[in-house]
Amino acid sequence: MLQIDNLTMRYPTGDLALDDVSVAVERGQVIALIGPSGAGKSTLIRCVNRLVQPSAGAIRLGGEDIVKMGVGDLRRARRRMGMIFQEYALVERLSVMENVLSGQLGYVGFWRSLLRRFPQPAVDEAFRLLGRVGLDHMVDKRADALSGGQRQRVGIARALIQNPDILLVDEPTASLDPKTSRQIMRLIVELCHERGLAAIINIHDVPLAMMFVERIVGLRAGRIVYDGPPKGLTDQRLTEIYGEEDWSGTRAEDDEDEPPAHRKVAAAVGPPELQKAAGA
């Protein structure tokens, strides 16, 4: 569904952030993007919704090439891509509800949004999403009064109210404690399965990524050096991505007694076809 072809990104400073990257993401597929700091993970997902303008290559979401779109088409394309940020990137001085509804801005005219008069279906959906992420009781709290985990839940609701085809997730757990990190990752993966959403999750925590996703892409210095299931991520592969290190203990789920968490999630809440896929 998302097709990235030969994407290259060179910053005006001359740094080559992405070097001829090609990835295809299928409908409903959640992939994790791993790699050392500065490998180009952030740049890659920012190129997809063109917060960063790539130097060469093509990105197709469904049909048209996003790289070559004009301003209006780009805005419409961005509506179909929800983004979740590392430091939450909520508008701190707006309330929880305003932050969630800001995900609808691409669908609503300027005056309606200025007067905060969103269409009732959007408001219904906002309430439903806030209930789903467990923040139904904090609707009119200001975003800067929330804890880190709560903020990220608002961030997720804001991305989902766009009714996107794909989620772009940039280090969703980098500022969170281990327990909250797992909860947030589980929530994101669950929601993707519920809605048949594809996602690219950019993440530092390799064990966490291996727990929740079915496909991992490893990036090093702007090039893809691994693309496959979590199982194939051997010590040798990790060394290729990150450099020499003792990797023992990284892959906690080496014993095959229980299925990986993403299978469990898909089997529990996913739409029938995904449940079938997970069970198979």
Partner 1 sequence: MTIALDAPTAGPRRWRKPPMIADARLRYALYALILVYLYVALSSVTVNYARILVGLDRGAAFVSGFLSPNFTTRWRDISNGMLESLTMTVISTAVGVLLSIPVALGAARNVAPPPIYVACRGLIAVSRAFQEVVIAIVFVAMFGFGPFAGAMTLAFSTIGFLGKLLAEDIEDIDRAQVEAIRASGASWPQLMNYAVQPQVAPRFIGLCLYRLDINFREASVIGIVGAGGIGATLNTALARYEYDSAAAILLSIIVVVFIAEYSSGFIRKRFL
Partner 2 sequence: MPVIEAGDHRVWRRRDRAEQLRNWLIWLVGTALFIVCWRFISERTIWIFVLDAPQQAWDMAVRMSNPPMGYFNRILQPMWDTVNMATIGTLIAIAIATPVAFLAASNTTPSVYFVRPVALAIIVTSRSINALIWALLLVLVVGPGLLAGIIAIALRSIGFIGKLLYEAIEEIDETQVEAIRATGAQPTQVLSYGIWPQVLPAFAGISVYRWDINIREATILGLVGAGGIGVQLQASVNSLAWGQVSVIFMAILVTVVFSEWVSAKVRHAVL
- The H or E element containing residue 79 is helix 71-79
Phi, psi of 141 (to 5 degrees): -75, 150
Picked from partner 2, partner 1, none, the partner binding residue 136 (CB below 5 to 8 A depending on kind) is: partner 1
Picked from partner 1, partner 2, none, the partner binding residue 140 (CB below 5 to 8 A depending on kind) is: partner 1
Q: Does the protein bind partner 1 through residue 132 (CB under 8 A)?
A: yes
Q: Does the protein bind partner 2 through residue 189 (CB under 8 A)?
A: no
| Residue count, binding to partner 1 (CB under 8 A) | 19
Task: Report the C-alpha gap between 96 and 62 in whole angstroms.
Answer: 32
Q: Does the protein bind partner 1 through residue 118 (CB under 8 A)?
A: yes
Task: Report the C-alpha gap between 109 and 104 in whole angstroms.
Answer: 10
**Is the Cα torsion angle 159, 83, 214, 34 positive or negative in sign?**
negative
What the block records as the tokens of 143 is: 């975003």
Q: Does the protein bind partner 1 through residue 134 (CB under 8 A)?
A: yes
Listed residue (176, 214, 278) closest to 30, CA to CA: 214
Which stretch in 20-28, 29-37, 136-144, 253-261 sits in contact with partner 1 by CB under 8 A?
136-144
- Side-chain-facing half-sphere of 146: CA atoms under 13 Å: 30
| Residues 126-185 interacting with partner 2 (rule: CB under 8 A) | 155, 158, 162, 168
| Residue 111 or 257 with smaller CB distance to partner 2 | 111
Phi, psi of 4 (to 5 degrees): -105, 125
Q: Which of 97, 169, 219, 238 binds partner 1 (CB under 8 A)?
A: 97
What the block records as the tokens of 21 is: 């990257």
Which stretch in 94-102, 210-218, 223-231, 270-278 sits in contact with partner 2 by CB under 8 A?
94-102
Chain residues that interact with partner 1, rule: CB under 8 A = 95, 97-98, 116, 118, 120, 123-124, 126-128, 131-132, 134, 136-137, 139-140, 194
